[in-house]
Chains A and B, each alone.
Chain A
Amino acid sequence: MSSTLLNTKDISRAVSRISHEILERNRGAGNIALVGIRTRGVVLSQRLKEQIEEIEDVTVDHGVLDITLYRDDLAAGIQKPELKKTDISFALEDKHIILCDDVLFTGRTIRAAIDALMDFGRPSSVQLAVLIDRGHRELPIRPDYVGKNIPTAKSKRVQVLFNEEDGEDKVIIQEQSN
C-alpha cells in the first residue's frame, strides 16, 4: 500500500523555490556551499547546486557527507549501512553551509551530520534544506528550507525516489511492511 505525495513536476518546483529562498536569505551565492547527506541528500544538493549556479551564473562549492560513523545507534546492534566516502574538499571557514537531506524525521541524522561537519572546520552558519518534513522530531532541530510539510503517522514510511538513484522522481508514503 503506497500513495504518491509528490510527482516529478512537484519535486522540480520545490527545488527551484528552495534555490531562490537560499539565494534570497544569503543575499546571493557568494559565501554559500552545499553539503548533501548520503545518499539522497546528495541528489538534492546537486540539483540545488545546478539551479543556483544557473540563476546566479557562479560556481558553488559542493560536498558529500557520510554520517554512518557519527550515528547514535551503531552500538545498538542494528545492521550497519555500508560505509561510503565523505568528500569535503573546501574550507568551511566563513561559509554558510546548506546541509541537504531528503526527509527530515527524528532529527538524529541531522545531529550526526552537524557533528561531522564541525570536525571539518567552523562554518559561519549551518542551514538545513529538506525536500520533505514529516514531523516527529526527537531533537530540537528545525529546517530552514522545506519542499513540503507532510504530517504523517509515525508508523508510516516516507520514501523519496530520485531519478539518479531510483530511475524516477517521486515521493511516496507507505505502511511499514514489518
Chain B
Amino acid sequence: MLLSTKSILGTKELTKQDIQQILDTAESFKEISTRAIKKVPTLRGKTIINLFFEPSTRTRTSFEIAGKRLSADVINISGSTSSTVKGENLIDTARNLEAMNPDILVVRHHCSGAPALLSQFVNSPIINAGDGTHEHPSQALLDLLTIRSHRGDLEGLKVAIVGDINHSRVARSNIKAMQTMGMKVRVVGPPPLIPVGLERLGVEVSHNLSEAIKDVDVVMVLRIQLERQNQGLLSSLREYSNYFCLTSETLAKARDDILIIHPGPVNRGIEIALDVMEGPRSLILNQVTNGVAIRMALFYLLLGENNANPN
C-alpha cells in the first residue's frame, strides 16, 4: 500500500485509488482524536517542518496537531520570522532546512507552484498546504471525507461550488478531486469570478444561486477573499451578497438533506448567512475535525514507508 506520488502537490496528481486510500486511512485515524490520550507512537523520531509564508490558523494548527498525535516532532516556521526577511530566497531556505534532515516539509506560499519548485530541489516529501491560486489538496481531501462520512459513497453526487472560483485554490483542488471520484461539479458566481473556459473541464457554470443549488447533494461556499477585492471584479460586497449569499431563503428550494461546507475562514453575512452557518445542515466544524484525520493520514502514508527511492 503506497501512494502513487512521493509528495502531495495537488489533487491533480492523485489517482482514484490514492484518494480512496487516504480517505480510508483518515477514517481510521478519526478515533484517535476521541481518546483520552490522543497520541500514538507511529511516527516517533520523525521530524515535520511546517513552512508557512502566508497567514493561517486552521491549516497550520491542523498539520501541527496531526503530526503531534502521531508522535512526530513538529517545527513551525512562518515567513515573517524566517530569514526570508533578510533576503534569503525560497530555494536556499528549503535547502538549509533540508540540511537538518527533516522527514517531511509542509509548505504554504502565496506564489502558485512554490511547493512544486521546492520539490525539485529537496529530497524530502512535500505537502502543499496551499499555493497561491493553484491548489490546496489537503483541504479538498478533508471536504471529500466530510461528504463521504455523511453520504457513504461519493460516486454520482452533485456539488455546487459558490463564490470566487477564479482565485480559489480550494475550488481548483476540489474540482479535480471530485471529478476523479466520479462526482458532478457545478460552479456558481458572478461572471468576473468564474474562469473562462471552465466548461471544457466538464464543469457546469451557473450565475444563479437558487437555481444552481436546487438539485445538488452538497453546496460548498467559498470565502470572498477581501484582500483580492480591490481589483474591480465586484462592484461592491453588498451587491455580491444580494445575489450569492447562501441564506435560508435560497436554501428553501434546495433538497432537505443538502450538506453545507465552507473551507473557512468565514465572512459572516457576506457569502453565508449567520443562521445557515450555524444551522443543522452546516458541516463547517466537522470539516475542521476531519482535517486533522486527513493530515494524519497524509503523514502516515508518506512517512514510515520506504520513500528513499520513489518511482
Contacts and interface: CB of A to CB of B under 8 A. Distances in A.
Interface of A: 66, 68-70, 74-75, 77, 79-87, 115-116, 119-121
Nearest to A66: B28
Interface string B269-311: 0000000000000000000000000000000100011101000
Contact of B40 (A70, A75, A80, A82): A70
Contacts of A69: 32, 40-42, 70, 300
Contacts of A85: 27-28, 31
Interface in B16-51: 24-25, 27-29, 31-32, 35-37, 39-42, 45-46
Nearest to B307: A77
B99 interface: no
Contacts of A87: 31
B306 A74 contact: no
A74 B31 CA distance: 20
Q: Closest 3 A-B residue pairs measured CB to CB?
A: A77-B306, A69-B40, A69-B42
Nearest to A77: B306
Contacts of A68: 42
B100 interface: no
Nearest to B40: A69
15 contacts: A69-B32, A69-B70, A70-B41, A75-B45, A75-B304, A77-B305, A77-B306, A80-B304, A81-B1, A83-B28, A83-B29, A86-B28, A86-B31, A115-B41, A119-B37
B35 A83 contact: no
**Range class of the B interface residue count:** 20 to 34
A84 B42 CA distance: 14
Nearest to A87: B31
Contacts, number: 49
A79 B1 contact: yes
A111 to B, nearest CB: 12
A120 B28 contact: no
Contacts of A86: 28, 31
B36 A121 contact: yes
Nearest to B70: A69
Contacts of B308: 77
Given A69-B41, A70-B42, A119-B40, A83 B31 contact: no
Nearest to A73: B304
Nearest to B46: A75
A25 B28 CA distance: 35
A83 B37 contact: no
Given A74-B304, A77-B305, A115-B41, A84 B1 contact: no
Contacts of A70: 40-42
A60 to B, nearest CB: 22
Interface string B132-149: 000000000000000000
A102 B2 CA distance: 27
Contacts of A120: 35-37
Contacts of A116: 40
A13 B189 CA distance: 69
Contacts of B42: 68-70, 74
A70 B37 CA distance: 14
Q: Which of A83, A86, A87 has the most CB of B within 10 A?
A: A83
Given A69-B42, A70-B42, A80-B1, A119 B35 contact: yes
Contact of A83 (B36, B300, B306): B300
A121 B2 CA distance: 33
A77 to B, nearest CB: 3
B33 to A, nearest CB: 12
Interface in B176-220: none
A83 B46 CA distance: 19
A85 B33 CA distance: 12
Contacts of B37: 119-120
Nearest to A121: B36
Contacts of B306: 77
B252 to A, nearest CB: 38
Q: Which of A80, A81, A86, A115 has the most CB of B within 10 A?
A: A80
